[in-house]
Amino acid sequence: MKPAAFGYLTPRTREEAIEVLSRYAGDAKVLAGGQSLVPLLNFRLTSFRYLVDINRIPDLDYIRSEQGYLAIGALARHRSVEQSAEAARECPLLPEALQFVGHPVIRQRGTVCGSIAHADPSAELPALLTALGGSVVLEGSSGRRVADAEEYFLGYLMTAQQPDELLVEARFPKLPNGSGFAFEELARRHGDFAIVGVACAALPDGSVRLGVCGANSVPFRPLKAETAAAQGDLQEAGRLAAADSDPDSDLHATAEYRRAMVSKLVERAVRHALERKEGNARG
Amino acid sequence: MDLYRVEDRRLLTGHGTFLDDLSTVPNVHHAAILRSPYPHARIRNIDASKALAMEGVDAVLTGRDVAKMSRPFASALPRQAAYYSLAVDKARFVGEPIAVVVAKDRYLAEDALALIDVDYEQLPAVVDPEQAVIDPDAPILHEDVGTNVALHRTLRYGDPEEAFRQADVVVKRRLRFPKYGSTPLETFGVVAAWNAAEDTLTIWSNFHGPFSMHPVVAQALGIPSNKLRFIVPGDIGGGFGIKTSIYPYLALIGLASRFSGVPVKWIEDRQENLMASSSGTDRVSEVELAAANDGTILGVRMKIYDNVGGYFRPPEPGCTFRPLGNYVGGYSFRNLDVDAYIVFTNKSLTGPNRGYGCPHLYFGLERVVDEMAHKLGLDPAEVRRRNLIPKAAFPYRTPTGGLYDAGDYEACLDTLLETADYEGLRRMQADARQHGRLVGIGFAFGVDPSVSNMGYVDIAATPEERKRRRPKSGATQGTTIQVDDLGKVTVEISTTPQGQSHETMVRRHIAQELGIPEVDITVISGMDTATRSWTIPSGSYSSRFASIGISSAVVTARKVLEKLGRIAAHQLEADPSDVEYVDGNFRVKGAPERSLAFRHAAGIAHWDPASLPPGTDPGIYVTHFHTMPTALPPDDEDRVNSSNTYGFMADLCLVEVDRETGEVEVKKYWGVHDSGVILDHKIAEGQIQGSFVHGLGGAMYEEMAYDEDGAFLTGTFMDYLCPTFLEVPPLETRYVETPSPFTVLGSKGIGESATETVPACIANAVTDALRPLGIEVNELPVTPTKVWNWLQQAQSEA
Amino acid sequence: MAEMRTGHLEDALFEAREIACTVNGKLYRAMAEPRRLLSDFIREDLDLKGTHVGCEHGVCGACTILFNGQPARSCLMFAVQADGAEIVTVEGLARSPQQLTRLQESFSQEHALQCGYCTPGMLISATALLSENPSPTDSEVRHAMAGQLCRCTGYEQIVRAVLAAADSDGKGGEGGNHA
- List pLDDT tens digits, range B289-335: 999 999 999 999 999 999 999 999 999 999 999 999 999 999 999 99
Of B137, B163, B159, which Cα lies nearest the Cα of B148?
A: B137
Longest dimension (CA), chain C: 66
Assess whether pLDDT exceeds 80 at residue A57.
yes
Asked if A190's CB is within 8 angstroms of B726's CB, the reply is yes
Q: Which residue has the higher pLDDT, B744 or A58?
A: B744
Edge-first strand listing for the sheet containing B591-597: B579-582, B585-588, B591-597
What residues of A are in contact with residue B788 (Cβ under 8 Å)? 257, 260
User: CA B518, CA B535: separation in Å to the nearest integer?
Assistant: 27
User: CA B267, CA B337: separation in Å to the nearest integer?
Assistant: 44
In the predicted model, what is the mean pLDDT of residues B38-65? Answer: 98
> Would you place residue A283 in the very low, low, confident or very high pLDDT band (cuts 50, 70, 90)?
low
Q: Which residue has the higher pLDDT, B773 or A26?
A: B773
Residue pLDDT, tens place only, B523-566: 999 999 999 999 999 999 999 999 999 999 999 999 999 999 99
Q: How many helices (H) and strands (E) does chain C have?
A: 6, 5
Assess whether pLDDT exceeds 70 at residue B725.
yes
Asked if B785's CB is within 8 angstroms of A264's CB, the reply is no
Asked if A42's CB is within 8 angstroms of C75's CB, the reply is yes
In the predicted model, what is the mean pLDDT of residues B350-374? Answer: 98
Same domain, residue pair C63 and C123:
no
Assess whether pLDDT exceeds 60 at residue B788.
yes
Give domain limits for chain B.
8-123+197-267, 353-452+641-797, 477-626
Q: In degrees rounded to 5, what are phi and psi of residue B625?
A: -100, 125
Which chain B residue's Cα is nearest to A255? B785
Chain A within 8 Å of B226 (Cβ-Cβ)? no
Chain A within 8 Å of B106 (Cβ-Cβ)? yes
Q: What DSSP string describes B698-740?
A: IIII----B-TT--B---STTTS----TTT---EEEEE-----
Assess whether pLDDT exceeds 80 at residue C157.
yes
In the predicted model, what is the mean pLDDT of residues B381-389? Answer: 98
Assess whether pLDDT exceeds 50 at residue A273.
yes
Asked if B726's CB is within 8 angstroms of C142's CB, the reply is yes
Residue pLDDT, tens place only, B125-152: 999 999 999 999 999 999 999 999 999 9
What residues of A are in contact with residue C33 (Cβ under 8 Å)? 5
> Would you place residue C134 in the very low, low, confident or very high pLDDT band (cuts 50, 70, 90)?
very high
> To the nearest whole number, what is the mean pLDDT of chain A?
96
Q: Residues B500, C114: contact at Cβ < 8 Å?
A: yes
Q: How many domains does chain C have?
A: 2
Residue C136: other Cβ atoms inside 10 A: 22
Give the domain-ending residue among C57, C92, C127: C92
User: CA B316, CA B351: separation in Å to the nearest integer?
Assistant: 6
What number does CATH give the domain A7-56? 3.30.43.10
Residues of A with CB under 8 A from a CB of C: 1-10, 34-35, 38-39, 42-43, 49-51, 53, 55, 79, 102-106, 108-109, 190-191
Q: What DSSP string describes A166-226?
A: EEEEEEEEPPPTT-EEEEEEE-SSTTSPPSEEEEEEE-TTS-EEEEEESSSSS-B--HHHH
What residues of C are in contact with residue B14 (Cβ under 8 Å)? 48-51, 89-91, 120
> Would you place residue B77 in the very low, low, confident or very high pLDDT band (cuts 50, 70, 90)?
confident
Residue C11's pLDDT is 86
Asked if A189's CB is within 8 angstroms of B663's CB, the reply is no
Which top CATH class is A180-282? alpha beta
Residue C31: other Cβ atoms inside 10 A: 13
Same domain, residue pair C126 and C155:
yes
What number does CATH give the domain B353-452+641-797? 3.30.365.10
In the predicted model, what is the mean pLDDT of residues B274-278? Answer: 98
Q: Which of residues 227-256 of B touch C (CB under 8 A)?
A: 235-240
> Would you place residue B116 in the very low, low, confident or very high pLDDT band (cuts 50, 70, 90)?
very high
Residue A191: other Cβ atoms inside 10 A: 21
Residue B1's pLDDT is 64
Residue pLDDT, tens place only, C72-89: 999 999 999 999 999 999
Give the domain-ending residue among C38, C70, C92: C92
Fold for B477-626, please state it: Aldehyde Oxidoreductase; domain 4 (3.30.365)
Note the residue count of chain C: 179
Q: Which of residues 628-687 of B touch C (CB under 8 A)?
A: 682-683, 685-686
Residue pLDDT, tens place only, B655-708: 999 999 999 999 999 999 999 999 999 999 999 999 999 999 999 999 999 999
Pick from B185, B686, B725: which is nearest to C142 by CB? Answer: B725
Same domain, residue pair C86 and C21:
yes
Residue B798's pLDDT is 77
Assess whether pLDDT exceeds 50 at residue C133.
yes
Question: Burial code of B584-616, b = ≥16 C-beta within 10 A, e = fewer?
Answer: ebbbbeeeeebbbebbbbbbbbeeeeeebeeee
- Percent with pLDDT over 70 in chain B: 100
What residues of B are in contact with residue A1 (Cβ under 8 Å)? 110, 269-271
Residue C159 lies in a domain: yes
Q: Which of residues 327-366 of B touch C (CB under 8 A)?
A: none
Same domain, residue pair C14 and C88:
yes
What number does CATH give the domain A58-171? 3.30.465.10
Q: Residues B715, B649: contact at Cβ < 8 Å?
A: no
Residue C169's pLDDT is 44
Assess whether pLDDT exceeds 60 at residue C176.
no
- Characterize the bridge pairing of strands B29-35 and B264-267: parallel
Chain A within 8 Å of C125 (Cβ-Cβ)? yes
Same domain, residue pair C20 and C41:
yes
> Would you place residue C6 in the very low, low, confident or very high pLDDT band (cuts 50, 70, 90)?
low
What number does CATH give the domain B8-123+197-267? 3.90.1170.50
Q: Residues B370, B192: contact at Cβ < 8 Å?
A: no
Domain that holds residue C132: 102-165
Residue pLDDT, tens place only, A148-199: 999 999 999 999 999 999 999 999 999 999 999 999 999 999 888 899 999 9
Same domain, residue pair C59 and C131:
no
Mutate to test the interface with C, among A8, A54, A190 (most CBs of C within 10 A): A8
Of A79, A50, A74, which Cα lies nearest the Cα of A62?
A: A74
In the predicted model, what is the mean pLDDT of residues A36-53? Answer: 97
Which distant-in-sequence residues (6+ apart) come within 8 Å of B608 by Cβ?
none
Residue A25's pLDDT is 87
Query: What are chain C's partners, defined as 3 or more CB pairs within 8 angstroms?
Result: A, B
For residue B484, the one-letter residue type is D
User: CA B355, CA B749: separation in Å to the nearest integer?
Assistant: 11
Residue C168's pLDDT is 62
User: Are B353-452+641-797 and B477-626 the same fold in CATH?
Assistant: yes
CA B432 and chain centroid, separation: 40
Q: What DSSP string describes B311-369?
A: S--TTTTHHHHTTGGGTTTTB----EEEEEEEEE-SS--B---TTTTHHHHHHHHHHHH
Give the domain-ending residue among C70, C92, C114: C92
Residue B375's pLDDT is 98
Residue A280's pLDDT is 78
Asked if C150's CB is within 8 angstroms of B686's CB, the reply is no
Residue C10's pLDDT is 83
Assess whether pLDDT exceeds 50 at residue B638.
yes
Asked if C51's CB is within 8 angstroms of B14's CB, the reply is yes
User: CA A183, CA A199: separation in Å to the nearest integer?
Assistant: 5
Q: Domain containing C37 — which CATH number?
A: 3.10.20.30
> Would you place residue B79 in the very low, low, confident or very high pLDDT band (cuts 50, 70, 90)?
confident
Give domain limits for chain A.
7-56, 58-171, 180-282
In the predicted model, what is the mean pLDDT of residues B47-58? Answer: 98
Q: Residues B723, B703: contact at Cβ < 8 Å?
A: no
Q: Domain containing C109 — which CATH number?
A: 1.10.150.120
Residue pLDDT, tens place only, B595-628: 999 999 999 999 999 999 999 999 999 999 999 9
Residue B78's pLDDT is 72
Pick from B716, B727, B785: which is nearest to A253 by CB? Answer: B785
- Rounded (5°) CA angle B67-B72-B77: 145
Asked if A186's CB is within 8 angstroms of B788's CB, the reply is no
Residue C179 lies in a domain: no
Q: At B541, is the secondary structure helix, strand, or coil?
A: coil
In the predicted model, what is the mean pLDDT of residues B173-201? Answer: 97
